[in-house]
Amino acid sequence: MTWMITGGAGYIGAHVARVMAGAGEDVVVLDDMSSGVPRRLPADVPLIKGSALDGDLLRRVLAEHDVTGVVHLAARKQVGESVEQPLRYYRENVGGLTTLLEAVAEAGVRRFVFSSSAAVYGNPPDVDLVAEDTPCAPVSPYGETKLAGEWLVRAAGRAHGIATVCLRYFNVAGAAAPELADTGVFNVIPMVFDRLTRDEAPRVFGDTYPTADGTCVRDYIHVSDLAEAHLAAARRLAGGAEGDLTVNIGRGEGVSVRELVDLIGEVSGDRRPALVESARAGDAPRAVADARLAAEELGWTARRGVREMVESAWAGWCLHHPDAGRR
């Protein structure tokens, strides 16, 4: 079997490519390098520079590399940007997926893994754990493209006999090595790092939510665990599983923003108190995955805790920000 990993030079994709190649799978990466970094990939993983929007290129790569399964991570992922540029997000995330699925169906590829997101749930209702049958109600064009993507994957799978797995990632953090860390500042952990590095106190938005310490609670998943979930999904499909599966990928444990900021203080050595600002409109008090279906169906559970995520993310941040932690 050969797996084509789209977006494989990205933050998550490079971890997936390493884990799959390390487990003995043949992989080939297709990435347009819009935010990819080639040196994240092991030297023996072939990297093709090109877009998931280029149908001719996709057909050529699928044929030339005898691709038998696809892991599709390539996408734009910034929620705020998606509000400003919805047409671009639909074109790249949904249009790119349509073009890819056309090429996949035409080439007779029968296995497909799709990067979805907890953003499909929007602001989940006030439940302890968010299960896969929780109603999906995305609140951004980004989340909409992920939900539309799931529909497209399942419909194409049914029509063309492609076995599919959609993985709904919760809050991804950490790195397997400093050079593989996420370089963007779009999530709470790098945002706090960024504040500390600029000699500013971390910000906490709202501390009167109905949670134990009043701040929002989220489910953080180490990117190495997430990469292993992709391997488990690929192996399930390679083992002959049919039909479709949609699963949450999280730890099933909540961590509050306050706990996270305190942990970042310990790890970075910069324990300045956080500034509490007004709550942001639309932030759900709690969004924690019910992770049982992934355990049952993929035989996968997360192994790494939030301290390991923060420590490895901090090591990656310090590599790119030599001034960090010097104050």
Exposed/middle/buried for residue 205 (C-beta within 10 Å: 0-12, 13-18, 19+) = middle
Find the helix or strand (DSSP H, E) in which 310 lies.
Answer: helix 306-320
Q: Decide if residue 33 touches ligand NAD (CB under 6 A).
A: yes
| Among residues 25, 31, 150, 219, the one that binds ligand NAD under rule CB under 6 A | 31
Pick between residue 48 and residue 270 the one whose CB is nearest to ligand NAD.
48
Separation between Cα atoms, residue 237 and residue 162, nearest integer Å = 10
Terminal Cα-to-Cα distance of the chain (whole angstroms): 51
Pick between residue 38 and residue 269 the one whose CB is nearest to ligand NAD.
38
| Among residues 1, 53, 152, 241, the one that binds ligand NAD under rule CB under 6 A | 53
Q: Which of residues 114-133 bind ligand NAD (CB under 6 A)?
A: 115, 117
Please count the residues of the chain.
327
Name the nearest CA neighbour of 259 among 202, 314, 302.
Answer: 202
Sketch the per residue contact string, 148 through 177, with ligand NAD: x for CB under 6 A, - otherwise.
---------------------x--x-----
Helices (H) and strands (E) in the chain, counts: 11, 14
- The HSE-up count of residue 6 (CA atoms within 13 Å, CB side) is 30
Stretch that binds ligand NAD, among 58-66, 71-79, 255-263, 270-278 (CB under 6 A): 71-79
Pick between residue 29 and residue 196 the one whose CB is nearest to ligand NAD.
29
| Among residues 17, 20, 45, 52, the one that binds ligand NAD under rule CB under 6 A | 52
Site size for ligand NAD (CB under 6 A): 28
Stretch that binds ligand NAD, among 68-76, 239-247, 257-265, 316-324 (CB under 6 A): 68-76
Q: Decide if residue 73 touches ligand NAD (CB under 6 A).
A: yes
Separation between Cα atoms, residue 171 and residue 164, nearest integer Å = 22
Q: Decide if residue 7 touches ligand NAD (CB under 6 A).
A: yes
Pick between residue 33 and residue 83 the one whose CB is nearest to ligand NAD.
33
268 with 324: CB under 8 angstroms?
yes
- Least distance (Å) from ligand NAD to the CB of residue 199? 26
Q: What are phi and psi of 263, to 5 degrees?
A: -65, -40
Q: Decide if residue 49 touches ligand NAD (CB under 6 A).
A: no
Pick between residue 95 and residue 325 the one whose CB is nearest to ligand NAD.
95
40 with 60: CB under 8 angstroms?
no
Name the nearest CA neighbour of 188 among 216, 168, 160, 163.
Answer: 216
Nearest-5° Cα angle at 317, 311 to 320: 150
204 with 258: CB under 8 angstroms?
yes
Residues with a catalytic annotation lie at 142
Q: Decide if residue 6 touches ligand NAD (CB under 6 A).
A: yes
Q: Decide if residue 35 touches ligand NAD (CB under 6 A).
A: yes
Chain residues in the site for ligand NAD (CB under 6 A): 6-7, 9-13, 30-36, 51-53, 73-75, 77, 92, 96, 115, 117, 169, 172, 187
